[in-house]
Amino acid sequence: MNVSPARRIAFDVLQRVEAEGAFASDLLNTQLTETVRREDAALATELTFGVLRWQGLLDFLLERHLEKPAAGLDLEVLLALRLGLYQLRFLERVPAHAAVSESVEIVKRARKSSAASLVNAVLRRIAPSAREPVEGLLPAGLAPAKRLALLYSHPAWLVERWVARLGGERTTALLAANNRPHQLACTVHDAARRESAIEDLRGASLRVESGALLRDALRVSGGSPARTEAFRRGWISVQDEASQAIPLLLEAVPGQEVLDLCAAPGSKTAHLARAAAPAGVVAADVHPHRLTAMRKHLDRLGIANVALISLDATRPLPLTKQYSRILVDAPCSGTGTLAHNPEIRWRLRPEDLADLHQRQTELLGTALDHLAAGGRLVYSTCSLEPEENEDVVTEALRPAPGARVVDASRLAASLAPHLAAGIRADALFDAAGAFRTFPAEYPTDGFFAAVLEKTPSS
C-alpha cells in the first residue's frame, strides 16, 4: 500500500528536523503548498508537531517494548515508530490498523525494509494499551521534576531549573501550555484594511477571532493565513501577539531614525518602519541570506524606508550615527516558544545558555554605544531564562553611564491603549520594570523585554 500524503510529509519533515537541524514550521510552510488538500495539511501538521512535542514520552513508552534504547535505532525506524505510537495514543479518529500499517510502509519507503517486521511487531504489541495512563508505568522513587519531565515530555534538566525558579505549580502549567497546539496570530499592517482582511480570511474558511493580548491583533485557526489574498497583498503578516508588542515599547514616532540590530525575519522592523516614516530604519543581521528573505517580506508589505546591512553586532559597528530608537531583539534559546517550536526543547543544552549570555551582553553593549542621549532602547528575547534576560541587562548596564531601565508605570501607561479588553498593562511588567509574557497565563509566546533610556546629559 502507499503511504498517505499527510504521513509522508510528516515523516520527511521530521527526518530533516532531526538530520539537518531545520525547524518544522519552516519546512511545513514549504511542503504544504496549495496543491495539498486541507485535510492532509491539517493531519501532517498534527503529526509533525505532535511527535516533536511528545518525543520524550513516546520514546519512554517504546523502550518498554524494545531490546535497546530508542536512540540506538536507525533514525528512519525510530521516526516510523514515533509516528505510529503518536497516532495510537493521541488520535482517536485514526484506526489502529491504519497507524500500524502505514508506519510499516513508511519504513519500507525509507529503504529500511529489514526493520518492517520490528515496527509491525512493536506497534501491534502496544496498540491494545496505547492509551493507558502513564503514571502507573513510571519508575518508583522518581524525583518530582523528572516525573514531570516524563509526563509532559520535556528534558529533565530544563524542568529541574524551572521548578527551582518557578515552583512546581507554575512549571506544570508552563509544561501543559507548551504541549497545546499553538494558535496563529496575525498583525494587521493597515488598519483601513482590517475588515477586508478579516473578510478574506473567513472567505478562505479560516476562523478569525480578536486578539487575546493586543486590541488590533487577529487570531486565526483552521488553515494557513499565508495562503490568502490578505497575506499576498501585504495587509497582514503571521506574528505572535507578544512579538507584536515589542516594537510598541520603543514608541517610535515619525521622523525618528531607528536602528534594528538583529532584524531578520523583519516582522518587528516592518512596524518600526511604518511608525518612524518618513525617516528610515537601518536593519542589520549577521546572516546575508536572512536579509535577502527579509527584503522579500518588506517588498510584500510595500515598505521601502529600510536599509539592510549585514554585520556582526557583537563587534564595533561600521556606523557613525547615534540613534534615538534602537531595537535589540537578540538571538536566544527560544524557551518561550516551545509550543510552536517544540524541537528546541530537545536541541538545547545547559551550556548553551552561557554562550548565549555572552553574545547577548555584547550585542546590548554595542547597541548602548550607539544610543543617543535622550534615546530609548528595547532589549528583547523570546526566552524565559534569567541568563538571557535580566542578567544580560544588569551586566550591560554596568559600563554604560547614564543608561537606565525605564519606569514600569510609564511603560504600562503607553502600552495600555494597545491592549485587548480585560488585559491589565501593569500585570505585564515585573517589579524591576521588565515586560514579560508567560505562556501559561497568556496564549502567546513567552517574551522578555527591558526598556532602557539614556539621560539627556549622557
- Residue numbers annotated as active site: 382
Alpha-carbon span 183 to 42, nearest angstrom: 13
Q: Which helix (H) or strand (E) holds 333?
A: none
Which residue matches cell numbers 507548551? 178
How many helices and strands, by DSSP H and E, does the chain display? 19, 12
Beta strands 323-329 and 371-381, pairing class: parallel
Cα of 139 vs its chain's centroid, Å: 33
Q: Taking the alpha carbons of 314, 315, 318, 322 in that order, is the dihedral positive or negative?
A: positive
Alpha-carbon span 40 to 53, nearest angstrom: 20
Beta strands 403-405 and 371-381, pairing class: unpaired
Q: Which residues contact 6 (CB under 8 A, 6 or more apart)?
A: 39, 40, 41, 42, 43, 44, 47
Q: Which residues contact 78 (CB under 8 A, 6 or more apart)?
A: 59, 70, 71
Please state, as a whole number, how many other Cβ atoms lie within 10 Å of the Cβ of residue 5: 17
Query: 3-state class of 258 per DSSP?
Result: strand
Which residue matches cell numbers 536599509? 307
Strand partners, 326: 259, 377
Dig out the grid coordinates for 139 from the structure: 519508575
Upper half-sphere CA count for residue 391 (Cβ side, 13 Å): 13
Backbone torsions φ then ψ of 362, nearest 5 degrees: -65, -40
Cα of 148 vs its chain's centroid, Å: 22
Cβ pair 319, 257 in contact under 8 A: no
Alpha-carbon span 303 to 134, nearest angstrom: 52
